[in-house]
Amino acid sequence: MRTPARLSMLRRCATAFSLVAGLAAALSAGAQPPPAAPATGGATGCPAILQHSFARLQDEKPQDLCQYSGKVVLVVNTASFCGFTPQYKGLEALDMKYRARGLVVLGFPSNDFSQESGSNKEIADFCESTFGVKFPMFAKSAVRGTDANPLFKQLAQASGTTPKWNFYKYLIGRDGKVVQAWSSMTAPDEAGFVSVIEKQLGAN
Protein backbone atom coordinates (compact mmCIF):
# COMPACT_ATOMS: atom_id res chain seq x y z
CA MET A 1 0.00 0.00 0.00
CA ARG A 2 1.40 3.39 -1.05
CA THR A 3 1.21 5.88 1.78
CA PRO A 4 1.19 9.63 1.09
CA ALA A 5 4.80 9.83 2.28
CA ARG A 6 5.86 7.04 -0.09
CA LEU A 7 4.00 8.68 -3.02
CA SER A 8 5.71 11.98 -2.27
CA MET A 9 9.12 10.27 -2.25
CA LEU A 10 8.38 8.55 -5.59
CA ARG A 11 7.39 11.87 -7.14
CA ARG A 12 10.63 13.47 -5.93
CA CYS A 13 12.65 10.57 -7.39
CA ALA A 14 10.86 10.85 -10.73
CA THR A 15 11.50 14.60 -10.86
CA ALA A 16 15.16 14.12 -10.02
CA PHE A 17 15.47 11.41 -12.67
CA SER A 18 13.94 13.71 -15.29
CA LEU A 19 16.36 16.49 -14.39
CA VAL A 20 19.36 14.15 -14.60
CA ALA A 21 18.18 12.72 -17.91
CA GLY A 22 17.67 16.23 -19.32
CA LEU A 23 21.09 17.34 -18.13
CA ALA A 24 22.73 14.27 -19.66
CA ALA A 25 21.01 14.93 -22.97
CA ALA A 26 22.16 18.55 -22.93
CA LEU A 27 25.71 17.58 -22.12
CA SER A 28 25.66 14.95 -24.86
CA ALA A 29 24.45 17.52 -27.40
CA GLY A 30 27.06 19.99 -26.26
CA ALA A 31 29.81 17.41 -26.65
CA GLN A 32 29.29 17.26 -30.41
CA PRO A 33 32.17 18.89 -32.34
CA PRO A 34 31.33 22.30 -33.83
CA PRO A 35 30.99 22.57 -37.60
CA ALA A 36 34.39 22.79 -39.27
CA ALA A 37 35.38 26.30 -40.29
CA PRO A 38 36.20 26.78 -43.96
CA ALA A 39 39.88 26.14 -44.51
CA THR A 40 41.91 29.21 -45.41
CA GLY A 41 43.20 28.94 -48.95
CA GLY A 42 41.33 25.74 -49.77
CA ALA A 43 41.25 22.25 -48.35
CA THR A 44 44.94 21.65 -49.00
CA GLY A 45 46.07 24.78 -47.16
CA CYS A 46 47.36 26.24 -50.43
CA PRO A 47 47.07 30.05 -50.37
CA ALA A 48 44.52 31.49 -52.78
CA ILE A 49 47.12 33.30 -54.87
CA LEU A 50 48.78 29.98 -55.72
CA GLN A 51 45.61 28.09 -56.55
CA HIS A 52 46.32 28.09 -60.27
CA SER A 53 47.66 25.70 -62.85
CA PHE A 54 49.81 26.79 -65.80
CA ALA A 55 51.43 24.96 -68.67
CA ARG A 56 55.16 24.44 -68.26
CA LEU A 57 57.17 26.34 -70.86
CA GLN A 58 59.28 23.40 -72.04
CA ASP A 59 56.55 20.85 -72.72
CA GLU A 60 53.25 22.62 -71.91
CA LYS A 61 52.38 20.07 -69.23
CA PRO A 62 50.10 21.56 -66.54
CA GLN A 63 51.83 22.55 -63.32
CA ASP A 64 49.98 23.24 -60.06
CA LEU A 65 51.41 26.31 -58.32
CA CYS A 66 50.27 24.88 -54.98
CA GLN A 67 53.49 22.84 -55.08
CA TYR A 68 55.19 26.08 -54.01
CA SER A 69 53.05 26.57 -50.89
CA GLY A 70 55.16 27.59 -47.91
CA LYS A 71 57.93 28.97 -50.09
CA VAL A 72 58.94 32.56 -50.80
CA VAL A 73 57.89 33.05 -54.42
CA LEU A 74 59.31 35.65 -56.81
CA VAL A 75 57.09 36.06 -59.87
CA VAL A 76 58.58 37.80 -62.92
CA ASN A 77 57.13 38.56 -66.37
CA THR A 78 59.86 38.00 -68.92
CA ALA A 79 60.73 38.54 -72.59
CA SER A 80 63.55 37.40 -74.86
CA PHE A 81 64.15 40.61 -76.85
CA CYS A 82 64.24 43.30 -74.19
CA GLY A 83 66.94 45.55 -72.79
CA PHE A 84 66.31 43.85 -69.44
CA THR A 85 66.58 40.30 -70.80
CA PRO A 86 70.07 39.84 -69.27
CA GLN A 87 68.31 39.87 -65.89
CA TYR A 88 67.62 36.19 -66.59
CA LYS A 89 71.20 35.52 -65.47
CA GLY A 90 70.71 37.33 -62.17
CA LEU A 91 67.35 35.68 -61.54
CA GLU A 92 68.87 32.24 -62.09
CA ALA A 93 71.72 33.08 -59.70
CA LEU A 94 69.20 34.30 -57.12
CA ASP A 95 67.14 31.13 -57.44
CA MET A 96 70.21 28.92 -57.08
CA LYS A 97 71.62 30.84 -54.12
CA TYR A 98 68.46 30.79 -52.02
CA ARG A 99 66.66 27.68 -53.28
CA ALA A 100 67.70 25.60 -50.28
CA ARG A 101 66.31 28.26 -47.95
CA GLY A 102 62.90 28.20 -49.63
CA LEU A 103 62.99 30.68 -52.52
CA VAL A 104 61.60 29.88 -55.95
CA VAL A 105 61.64 32.17 -58.99
CA LEU A 106 58.74 31.73 -61.43
CA GLY A 107 59.06 33.16 -64.95
CA PHE A 108 56.08 34.10 -67.12
CA PRO A 109 57.05 35.04 -70.68
CA SER A 110 54.71 37.58 -72.25
CA ASN A 111 54.38 39.43 -75.54
CA ASP A 112 52.41 42.27 -73.98
CA PHE A 113 55.24 44.64 -74.85
CA SER A 114 55.90 43.10 -78.30
CA GLN A 115 59.25 41.61 -77.29
CA GLU A 116 58.39 37.91 -77.04
CA SER A 117 57.31 36.65 -80.46
CA GLY A 118 58.66 33.10 -80.34
CA SER A 119 56.90 29.83 -79.58
CA ASN A 120 57.08 28.29 -76.13
CA LYS A 121 59.77 25.87 -77.29
CA GLU A 122 61.81 28.65 -78.85
CA ILE A 123 61.59 30.70 -75.65
CA ALA A 124 62.62 27.70 -73.54
CA ASP A 125 65.60 26.93 -75.80
CA PHE A 126 66.71 30.57 -75.77
CA CYS A 127 66.51 30.90 -71.98
CA GLU A 128 68.43 27.72 -71.32
CA SER A 129 71.09 28.06 -74.01
CA THR A 130 71.72 31.78 -73.51
CA PHE A 131 71.35 32.25 -69.75
CA GLY A 132 71.26 28.72 -68.33
CA VAL A 133 67.79 29.25 -66.87
CA LYS A 134 66.67 26.35 -64.70
CA PHE A 135 64.05 28.00 -62.52
CA PRO A 136 60.41 27.14 -63.37
CA MET A 137 58.98 28.95 -66.37
CA PHE A 138 55.53 28.79 -67.88
CA ALA A 139 53.91 29.10 -71.27
CA LYS A 140 53.60 32.55 -72.81
CA SER A 141 50.58 34.49 -71.56
CA ALA A 142 49.24 38.00 -71.03
CA VAL A 143 50.22 39.65 -67.76
CA ARG A 144 48.18 42.85 -67.83
CA GLY A 145 44.78 44.08 -68.97
CA THR A 146 41.59 42.08 -69.26
CA ASP A 147 43.44 39.15 -70.83
CA ALA A 148 45.99 38.86 -68.01
CA ASN A 149 46.41 35.38 -66.60
CA PRO A 150 44.64 34.89 -63.24
CA LEU A 151 47.84 34.98 -61.17
CA PHE A 152 48.85 38.37 -62.53
CA LYS A 153 45.35 39.70 -62.01
CA GLN A 154 45.63 38.78 -58.33
CA LEU A 155 49.14 40.20 -58.11
CA ALA A 156 47.97 43.50 -59.59
CA GLN A 157 45.03 43.67 -57.19
CA ALA A 158 47.14 42.84 -54.13
CA SER A 159 50.06 45.12 -54.99
CA GLY A 160 48.18 47.97 -56.63
CA THR A 161 50.38 47.87 -59.73
CA THR A 162 50.44 46.04 -63.05
CA PRO A 163 53.61 45.33 -65.05
CA LYS A 164 54.64 48.51 -66.86
CA TRP A 165 57.33 46.64 -68.80
CA ASN A 166 59.11 43.29 -68.92
CA PHE A 167 60.83 41.93 -65.81
CA TYR A 168 58.46 43.38 -63.24
CA LYS A 169 58.92 41.51 -59.98
CA TYR A 170 56.36 40.46 -57.36
CA LEU A 171 57.34 38.81 -54.09
CA ILE A 172 54.94 36.46 -52.29
CA GLY A 173 55.70 35.52 -48.68
CA ARG A 174 55.44 32.07 -47.15
CA ASP A 175 51.93 32.98 -45.96
CA GLY A 176 50.74 33.57 -49.52
CA LYS A 177 50.53 37.36 -49.17
CA VAL A 178 52.09 39.73 -51.67
CA VAL A 179 54.99 41.48 -49.94
CA GLN A 180 56.13 44.01 -52.53
CA ALA A 181 56.46 44.74 -56.23
CA TRP A 182 59.46 46.17 -58.10
CA SER A 183 59.84 47.69 -61.54
CA SER A 184 62.06 46.44 -64.35
CA MET A 185 64.79 48.83 -63.20
CA THR A 186 65.41 46.73 -60.07
CA ALA A 187 68.24 44.31 -60.81
CA PRO A 188 68.09 40.82 -59.24
CA ASP A 189 71.31 41.48 -57.30
CA GLU A 190 70.34 44.93 -56.00
CA ALA A 191 71.09 45.06 -52.28
CA GLY A 192 67.73 46.46 -51.12
CA PHE A 193 65.81 43.96 -53.23
CA VAL A 194 67.85 41.00 -51.96
CA SER A 195 67.47 42.25 -48.38
CA VAL A 196 63.67 42.03 -48.61
CA ILE A 197 63.91 38.48 -49.98
CA GLU A 198 66.28 37.43 -47.19
CA LYS A 199 63.93 38.87 -44.60
CA GLN A 200 61.06 36.82 -45.99
CA LEU A 201 63.19 33.68 -46.09
CA GLY A 202 63.89 34.14 -42.40
CA ALA A 203 60.21 34.56 -41.53
CA ASN A 204 58.38 31.60 -40.03
13 is catalytic: no
Has residue 30 been placed in a domain? no
Task: Specify the CATH number for the domain of residue 186.
Answer: 3.40.30.10
Has residue 11 been placed in a domain? no
Q: Domain count of the chain?
A: 1
Has residue 166 been placed in a domain? yes
Has residue 38 been placed in a domain? no
Has residue 146 been placed in a domain? yes
The answer to whether the beta carbons of residues 171 and 200 sit under 8 Å apart is yes
Compute CA distances 92 → 54, 88, 96, 173, whole Å: 20, 6, 6, 19
**78 lies in which domain range?**
48-202
Q: Alpha-carbon distance 176 to 173, whole Å?
A: 5
Question: How many degrees, rounded to 5, is the angle at CA 101 between CA 75 and CA 203?
Answer: 80
The pLDDT-based confidence of 106 (bands split at 50, 70, 90) is: very high
Give the tens place of pLDDT for each residue, 23-66.
Answer: 344 434 443 333 333 333 444 689 999 999 999 999 999 999 99
Has residue 127 been placed in a domain? yes
Has residue 96 been placed in a domain? yes
Give the tens place of pLDDT for each residue, 8-24.
Answer: 444 544 444 444 344 34
Has residue 187 been placed in a domain? yes
13, 46, 66, 82: the catalytic one is: 82
The answer to whether the beta carbons of residues 107 and 170 sit under 8 Å apart is no
pLDDT for the residue 43: 44
